A and B are shown apart, each in its own frame.
Chain A
């Protein structure tokens, strides 16, 4: 039940915030903070209670699951389950949700209740996306989140917000619809083969597909996830959306929304179509390297501070894409770590840009310079996150990118070498950013108040996980390992097409907790 509560909670809180915010904007803010905080506390309890489960090898990957029939005529069920990977993502949702509320404390002054309603609904849909194991439910939430996100950008964004919002909406929608066709094709093929029409991911896993069919369907999924991730050349919505969104929107976009692409590939695309995915891996790894370098180069070319940060996201997500198609334990653990660290480091950079824009009313770097003198604390904090972004050892991003490079080295040496240049480039643009904004010639006209206590606490809270994961990432790895191992068992690089006898658990035994069978759902106490 905890999963349903975690999904439903932000929906409810969102409505409450909206109603409360109609009269008193401040109440809406507090409602949202409390909602997110309570969710985080609940998650902390879950982590502590369930932590032993992750270590048990015979426990199966899922620590909690709920399975309720929804539209039985079509084989649609409300099937959510969480393994370590999902739980990490859900925690990330709540944490960034909380930070997004805090960062918009002063920025959002109009229609405050409505803003928090939209924000919380986005979070709720995201939580659902990261736990859904029914492909229909996944798609449902995947699309549903677009509407609140669209409003977040279009209503509270900057100068060209409508353009950015519509572009974001359309790009995601067309990718999503192609995935819908692929999902339905898979559903129909599975139905024809077994007579069971279902959207249950665990049952669909065993579908036999010819190579050509699998490739087409895989491309359908890839279209949706590559837009989200974003992979070059489908990335063009990202700089606009990130730049124009309000700070909270940028946080959610960079920290969570684009992570759906990575999560979807790891959870759905590769396990569902392993052979097709691995055959296409060289192309996708090429795209990944292209994204790393292209994002880095374009980051140099920006004058708009926020756009610069947005392009670094493209670059960082290239690493994640590289790791996914390398598909070995090291690379995947690196990918998950990168997802988490990027959420905090880039999120923090967006928050800092937001704070600067609040104070300076510009994002143009040419109008900044020498700000360290007036705002030393902000400069120091920005430096920390810039260093994280460039991959300084002892911060989480370093571990992540290092693991990814080691992992991908085993698969493709040239791609790894080229990707490593991305690290060099990251060093240059990150330091350059600091140099141009905080160092350099002082602009006399500009004075900027330094961080307030609330802002300082907020940014410190974002730096803490980076430091922790940079020094001691093992708990995270322990948590995600069983889930990742189960997925890897599904999709083995170079293996012959899976024979269903081995990999497909018969539908009747699906609910029974049977040993280390990767398909088995472990129904823990939550399920009852």
Chain B
């Protein structure tokens, strides 16, 4: 690796160093506030490095990583989201009176894993990123060893993630056997030679096994079984992280990898993806109807949302790539907001995840309820919110590629979605208040600061939901620039 390569890798170096610094600082000085400050500082530093790298132009660093504008955009997105999660965690952990510095180290490492996935152009970096992300998440999910739920969720995630990672590896081995290469350029070769090579059974089998691995991380049907348990079991800020960073990094990778393969509606791989998309939209929305736990409900709804993203992914052309990116941003913002509200309401004993916890919220905490309602309407795709434009973009991309059946499924199922989102809104606004699981307003100083931090995140989220919902042109321009580099 050359000196130029080192400069190009600055964002990665910044993230890694921040993780080390936070870990070391934690051993000497166990102030929660300091740890959070250092973590945010590290993330800001990483963010500041992105333009430096961008100024040098898209660059391949070894065979493994490519840092073009596409990568940098998504790293920026992941880092910003992580910053949001860190702020949410501050208040959340303060209320539980635990001051964990290694929690933040793990968050940074998981972000690093996500960034690696986004930049990956080789199976090795794919696997490396995936494992760095997953292993950090095992611990994060089981982190606050306070409740059996968390550990149970951690073990479940561990077993399933490791098993699907093995499937992914086996798939990679098969593709390697057929193509003799593990880098993305090999995929591009496939594109050039056309469908002929893509049809051997070994290759198709390999791709399908890789899809198992990817599908698991995305939490799409039929690899979705972990999602509701992990969403319910993990601490609310970690759930926000799993729902956004972990899934989003995988979507970015998927877009880069499979844009290279010539996907047309007669390929097995295409049909598999279409079936996954349809099944996710249907099952996610239908199962969400049955939930009385808000975190599980959001889990099933996220399954459906990933299904919508896959519809855009299956469409061809630049619009489709922009649609995926736009929907992803919309999904990040709204999901962060939704779990932010859950985290903000959660008490020391348990998370505020029952619908009953939200009854009459509008009377108790009007602004919080308004934010949650806004975010839910955004998830449901109601105008004035970014979620509407995201869904609009997806349907637009689908219509351009004439994916009528998938669009009809999308339309029908998202109406179902509206129903369960409305249930929460009704609970907040129409039903009578109930006692909250914990004291409504924490009295301790640190907890108050934590609440401030969460409030700040929620204000930013609400602002973004509205701003991007009304004036999306700048974001679209950026995305169009960013996806221009994709094959």
Q: Which A residues have a C-beta under 8 Å from some C-beta of B? A: 70-74, 136, 139-141, 143-144, 146-147, 150-151, 154-155, 161-162, 165-166, 169-170, 173-174, 177-178, 180-181, 184-185, 187-188
Contact = CB atoms under 8 A, between A and B. Distances in A.
B187 to A, nearest CB: 29
B121 interface: no
B415 A177 contact: yes
Contacts of B415: 170, 173-174, 177
B418 interface: yes
Given A144-B382, A181-B399, A162 B430 contact: yes
B377 A143 contact: no
Contact of B395 (A144, A162, A180): A180
Contact of A177 (B414, B419, B429, B472): B414
A472 B473 CA distance: 49
Contacts of B407: 181
B26 to A, nearest CB: 45
A147 B400 contact: no
B86 to A, nearest CB: 32
Contact of B382 (A147, A162, A165, A174): A147
Contacts of B411: 174, 177-178, 180-181
Q: Which 8 A-B pairs have the closest CB atoms?
A: A184-B399, A144-B383, A177-B411, A174-B415, A140-B383, A143-B383, A73-B476, A188-B399
A174 B419 contact: no
A185 B412 contact: no
Given A144-B382, A162-B430, A180 B414 contact: no
A95 B206 CA distance: 66
Interface string B10-23: 00000000000000
B157 interface: no
A166 to B, nearest CB: 6
Contacts of B388: 140, 143
A170 B419 contact: yes
A181 to B, nearest CB: 5
A180 B418 contact: no
A197 to B, nearest CB: 9
A34 to B, nearest CB: 25
Interface of B: 377, 382-384, 388, 392, 395-396, 399-400, 404, 407-408, 411-412, 414-415, 418-419, 422, 426, 429-430, 472-473, 476-477, 480
Nearest to A145: B383
A140 B408 CA distance: 19
Contact of B408 (A136, A170, A181, A188): A181
Contacts of B383: 139-141, 143-144
B399 A187 contact: yes
Contacts of A144: 382-384
A402 to B, nearest CB: 39
Contacts of A143: 382-383, 388
B423 to A, nearest CB: 8
B473 A71 contact: yes
A174 B388 CA distance: 14
B429 A73 contact: no
A162 B424 CA distance: 12
Given A144-B384, A181-B407, A181-B408, A169 B418 contact: yes
A74 B422 contact: no
Given A71-B473, A180-B395, A181-B411, 15 more contacts: A70-B473, A73-B476, A74-B396, A139-B383, A144-B382, A147-B377, A150-B422, A162-B426, A170-B419, A173-B415, A174-B412, A174-B415, A177-B415, A180-B411, A188-B400
A154 B472 contact: no
12 contacts: A70-B473, A136-B392, A140-B383, A140-B388, A161-B430, A162-B430, A166-B422, A166-B426, A177-B415, A181-B404, A185-B399, A188-B396
